[in-house]
Structures are given as C-alpha cells and as structure tokens.
C-alpha cells in the first residue's frame, strides 16, 4: 500500500515538483510553479490522500523548507533541487570562506578526476556545516565530506546562489578547489 504520512507525501511531492511532474499528471510553468488544485487532484489520482490542509502543513513543517506557495496559495513550487529545466530566480551572493559537499566514498575517485559535477541537477549543492554534509553524503553510501575553498573560487570569478531555503548552489567545481577532511 502507498504510505500516506506527511514525510512520504512530501517525498512524492518533491519528485513531482523537482524531477517528474508527469508522475502526478501535471505540468510546471517556466518558473517551476504548479497549480495547487491540479497538484492536489493529481496526487489523489495516484491513490494518495492529499487535501489543502495537509499540503499547507507539509509546506509549513517540512524540515528543509523545500516548498513555497505564491501569495494567494494558488501555486506551489520547490525552492531548489530541480533536475528539470525551470528557472528559479535565486539570489547571487558571496559565500562564506568555505562550504562543504557531502558525497559517498564510491564517488571520490571520479570526483578527483572530473571535479564535483552537477550530475542530474541544475547546480552542485553545498552545505554550510559538516553535519549537514554528512547527512547528504549518507544518502549515497559511506559519507565523505569535501571542503570547498569558496573564497578562492569567488576570487577566480565563480558565482554562488543561495536558495530561499538556505542551500548554496554552485556550478561544477574543479578538484583544485576541493580538499578531503
């Protein structure tokens, strides 16, 4: 049976809003917005239970503030993490001197060779602290934390974006800016 708790629903909504809107039979506009009524109907059509009250609670209580409504709550989108081609207008900001990237030990050899690549997402995701990076890395296996010399990257002309939910986003990162810790 399909799980219908808030976390499971949230995971499915992340899939729909970041990677695969067709999983709920919907489309996103060019800025990543879904129509809220369509999303609710589409999620229910998959056999899940979702109503506006539940969706509002998921948006409000999500541990990473992954989603935002527009002002009148007729539209919803993910704040970051997309693999599909939508434009989320994120603030370009100068980052702290270092940021961290959590990954798995099985990717390290390839990362040393090619750098940290965006892979399927629009940006490389960086964390402010080591604990968060460990959690991100654990999703892929035995975690490894990489420290990124963002000060040097900025000096070399790289730009960084900060999503509305506080995740730093970068272009591909050459290995020369990276160290293992």
Chain residues in the site for ligand HQG (CB under 6 A): 64, 66, 81, 103-104, 107, 110-111, 114, 116-117, 119-121, 125, 136, 139-140, 167
Distances (CA, A) of 4 to 12, 33, 146, 156: 10, 23, 36, 47
Q: Which helix (H) or strand (E) holds 14?
A: helix 6-14
C-beta separation of 111 from 47 below 8 A: no
C-beta separation of 166 from 134 below 8 A: no
The smaller minimum CB distance to ligand HQG, of residues 33 and 67, is found at 67
The smaller minimum CB distance to ligand HQG, of residues 4 and 110, is found at 110
- Phi, psi for residue 154 in degrees, rounded to 5: -60, -45
Question: Least distance (Å) from ligand HQG to the CB of residue 33?
Answer: 18
Question: Least distance (Å) from ligand HQG to the CB of residue 37?
Answer: 24
The smaller minimum CB distance to ligand HQG, of residues 45 and 105, is found at 105
C-beta separation of 145 from 181 below 8 A: yes
| Edge-to-edge strand ranges of the sheet holding 124-126 | 91-92, 160-162, 168-170, 124-126
The smaller minimum CB distance to ligand HQG, of residues 41 and 149, is found at 149
Distances (CA, A) of 49 to 32, 34, 146, 157: 23, 18, 40, 47
The smaller minimum CB distance to ligand HQG, of residues 57 and 139, is found at 139
What is the CA 132 to chain-centroid distance, rounded?
13
Question: Least distance (Å) from ligand HQG to the CB of residue 10?
Answer: 10
């Amino acid at each position: 049976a399909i799980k219908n708790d808030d976390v499971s629903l949230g995971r499915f909504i992340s899939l729909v809003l970041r990677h695969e809107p067709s999983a709920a039979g919907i489309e996103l506009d060019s800025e990543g917005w879904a129509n809220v009524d369509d999303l609710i109907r589409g999620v229910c059509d998959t056999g899940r239970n979702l109503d506006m009250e539940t969706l509002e609670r998921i948006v409000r209580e999500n541990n990473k503030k992954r989603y935002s409504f527009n002002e009148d709550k007729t539209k919803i989108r993910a704040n970051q993490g997309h693999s599909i081609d939508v434009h989320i207008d994120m603030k370009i900001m100068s980052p702290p001197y270092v940021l961290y990237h959590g990954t798995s030990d099985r990717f390290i050899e390839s990362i040393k060779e090619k750098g940290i690549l965006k892979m399927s997402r629009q940006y490389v995701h960086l964390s402010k602290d080591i604990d968060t990076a460990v959690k991100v890395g654990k999703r892929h296996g035995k975690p490894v934390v990489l420290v990124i010399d963002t000060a040097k990257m900025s000096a070399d002309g790289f730009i960084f974006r900060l999503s509305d939910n506080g995740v730093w986003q970068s272009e591909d990162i050459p290995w020369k800016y990276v160290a293992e810790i």
